[in-house]
């Protein structure tokens, strides 16, 4: 390893399954050390984790980084969005955190959307129509189903807030992660008193929302918690949500679209304009700076296509050129399009259809849904001719990349940088330390560079075929018969 050219900073990605830590040279963006430790997620219908495990995982991941972590001058924590963390008067968890993918709050979501005046009112006030993933619906669920737990809560936090508070002793958050709660108004850029009253949440229980670039504090010992392993006095940035951190990690400029291929698929682009989509397809998040991050999500992405490959007994790359078959791999319902009760749909099967064509049809169906979501995001603030930045685990797969190219008709770039959430947190820490814009820091690190693939003509025949099936089967997919 070469000698660092700048001070060292730490970026943390506290995700659903694990905590990842990168120690990064603030001057070059070189990763000089890394660590990772797992979390436990419990439940079948429920998805919960003990926040104390996140702290222990952070300490373990930092310890794996060796002396480099002890030399860090600044740190930032990015965390999974939407999770509900409730703390008692001593700062200990009242109960396990409700994670973003715990959707037991669907009935409460329906009720509060109606009680505030419907989706249009939510979109205009909050910027998003809340889904069961959102924090506001989880708090409403807790009030109804565990009133003692809600009454015992002396503080309500998001996952990244919790870890930042353990580092600094200060209750703060940022506008990016706050915008995913459902009780922070993008119109007012403040907590929405009417929403808080609707769900009976005292604003005194919430953290202060800091301005972009403001410090959360410094690393220090917090009573009742073991030391982190970071040096006392190191600067702590505000942190942010995981999607906002990934945007920082890419140094995104307004209008450049990102397609993230993971278990679920996510599309987003930084925009200077505040998004408001009453259909609920696009979430009108704030980014970690002073702009906005319109974002849409599909539930069925790499996991669904891998399941089809498994059923066919084929390697995930063993595709054949597309035929007439249409396969909509909505194996877990779907969020975009909004078919929560849908199952997978296969049509156009013939004697001559090969297993490879079936698998390619699964890719086509998943990518079609993503591109529909991307169209909505770009309507909210994107450029039609910008290359797609393809990230996430699926971005390394040839079949995924070529399907995105063939159905989008757009150029594609696959950034070589890995762990973009932790890298974005590191860029935020470096920006605070050096007095620079965090996205500019990431651009200096050239994190968005990677193999570029020229556009090919969009496969209009395949797009029309899938669109026709989707329209014709809309009632069936929606669970209407």
Decide if 418 contacts 442 (C-beta within 8 A): no
- What backbone torsions phi and psi does residue 308 show, to the nearest 5 degrees? -65, -40
Is 242 tagged catalytic? Answer: yes
307 Cβ contact partners less than 8 Å away, ≥ 6 residues apart: 329, 331
DSSP-assigned beta bridge partners for residue 345: 328
Decide if 428 contacts 10 (C-beta within 8 A): no
User: In angstroms, rounded to a whole number, what is the distance separating the alpha carbons of residues 391 and 303?
Assistant: 15
User: In angstroms, rounded to a whole number, what is the distance separating the alpha carbons of residues 425 and 13?
Assistant: 7
Decide if 230 contacts 63 (C-beta within 8 A): no
- List the catalytic residue out of 177, 242, 364, 448: 242
The residues that are catalytic are 242
């Amino acid at each position: 390893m070469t000698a660092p050219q700048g001070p060292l900073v730490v970026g943390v990605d506290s995700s659903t399954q694990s905590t990842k830590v990168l120690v990064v040279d603030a001057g070059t963006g070189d990763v000089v050390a890394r660590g990772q430790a797992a979390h436990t997620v419990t439940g079948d219908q429920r998805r919960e984790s003990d926040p104390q495990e996140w702290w222990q995982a952070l300490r373990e991941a930092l310890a794996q980084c060796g002396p480099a972590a002890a030399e860090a001058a600044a740190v930032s924590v990015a965390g999974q969005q939407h999770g509900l963390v409730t703390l008692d008067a001593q700062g200990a968890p009242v109960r396990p955190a409700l994670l973003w993918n715990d959707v037991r709050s669907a009935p409460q979501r329906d009720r509060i959307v109606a009680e505030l005046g419907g989706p249009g009112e939510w979109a205009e006030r909050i910027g998003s129509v809340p889904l069961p993933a959102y924090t506001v619906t989880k708090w409403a669920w807790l009030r109804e189903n565990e009133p003692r737990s809600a009454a015992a809560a002396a503080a309500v936090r998001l996952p990244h807030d919790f870890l930042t508070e353990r580092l600094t002793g200060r209750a703060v958050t940022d506008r990016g992660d706050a915008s995913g709660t459902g009780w922070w108004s993008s119109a007012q850029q403040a907590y929405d008193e009417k929403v808080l009253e609707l769900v009976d949440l005292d604003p005194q229980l919430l953290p202060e929302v800091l301005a972009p670039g403001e410090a959360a504090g410094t690393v220090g010992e917090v009573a009742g918690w073991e030391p982190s392993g970071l040096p006392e006095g190191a600067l702590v940035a505000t942190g942010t949500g995981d999607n906002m951190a990934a945007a920082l990690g890419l140094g995104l400029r307004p209008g450049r679209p990102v397609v993230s291929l993971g278990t679920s698929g996510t599309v987003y682009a930084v925009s200077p304009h505040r998004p408001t989509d009453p259909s609920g397809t696009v979430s009108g998040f704030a980014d970690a700076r002073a702009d906005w991050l319109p974002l849409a999500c599909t539930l069925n992405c790499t996991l669904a296509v891998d399941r089809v490959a498994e059923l066919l007994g084929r390697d995930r790359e063993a595709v054949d050129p597309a035929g007439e078959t249409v396969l909509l791999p909505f194996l877990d319902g779907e969020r975009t399009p909004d078919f929560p009760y849908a199952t997978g749909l296969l049509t156009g099967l013939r004697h001559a259809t090969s297993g490879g064509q079936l698998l390619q049809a699964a890719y086509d169906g998943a990518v079609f849904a993503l591109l529909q979501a991307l169209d909505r995001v770009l309507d909210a603030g994107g450029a039609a001719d910008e290359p797609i930045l393809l990230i996430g685990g699926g971005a390394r797969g040839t079949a995924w990349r070529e399907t995105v190219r063939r159905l989008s008709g757009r150029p594609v770039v696959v950034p070589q940088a890995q762990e973009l959430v932790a890298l974005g947190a590191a860029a935020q820490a470096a920006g605070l330390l050096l007095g620079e814009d965090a996205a500019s820091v990431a651009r200096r690190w050239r994190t968005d560079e990677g193999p570029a693939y020229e556009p090919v003509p969009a496969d209009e025949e395949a797009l029309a075929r899938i669109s026709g099936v989707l329209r014709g089967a809309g009632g069936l997919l929606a669970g209407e018969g």
